[in-house]
Amino acid sequence: MSKIYFLLGGARSGKSEYSENLASLLSEKVAYMATAEIIDEEMQKRIELHRSRRPAGWQTFEFKESIISLDDFNSVLKNVISEQMEVILIDCITNLLFRIVYKHRVEDLEIIDNAFERKIEEEVQEFFSQFLLRLAAARDKHNLNVIIVSNEVGLGLVPPYPFGRVFRDLLGLVNKKIASISDEAYFFVAGLKMKMK
């Protein structure tokens, strides 16, 4: 029986490496949905590290546009289903969320008013409601195992700038949504995993 697995943790906590091992255990027919965008040399190195760990037989889907839409995601999911892949690994939700909200140029604002924040939140909620609905349908109808990786960013200090605070809150909402529809959920700290669900 296929499942949705949710892997949550901080940076370098071991979640991505575990997700790749889990995908390999579940099947050889793995689709890897890479959500990061190369924006600087540091990100280039991180992406190259992830690429080097992936088995050659996996099919990787990357997004060329800076902003990812629901249509982009639907196109990937349609390919995954048509090619009868058995696992889709999405790494990671944090980068996906950033690329969704980036178009609003929130980082340029000194103050974010409530109406603007509500507008972004509604857009994010709508995107991820549809995103998760389609993943759950693919799990049930096409026997697709889904592995979703995300960061936990709400355990530290309150970010000192508006975009950081808005992003932290949005990611918290998205993570709760994912956890609610997941069959299994794990939290990673220092390379160790704790089963939450």
Q: Which residues are catalytic?
A: 50
Token code pair at residue 43 = 């990100």
Look at the alpha carbons of 37, 43, 46, 48 in this order and tell me if their dihedral is positive or negative: positive
For residue 7, which of 53, 137, 17 has the smallest C-alpha distance?
17
Name residues whose C-beta falls within 8 Å of residue 22's C-beta, 6 or more positions apart in sequence.
Answer: 5, 147
CA 42 from centre of chain? 19
Residue environment code for 117-138, b if the CB has 16+ CB neighbours within 10 A, otherwise e: beebeeebeebbeebbeebbeb
CB 178 within 8 A of CB 96: no
Token code pair at residue 17 = 């490496």
CA 193 from centre of chain? 18
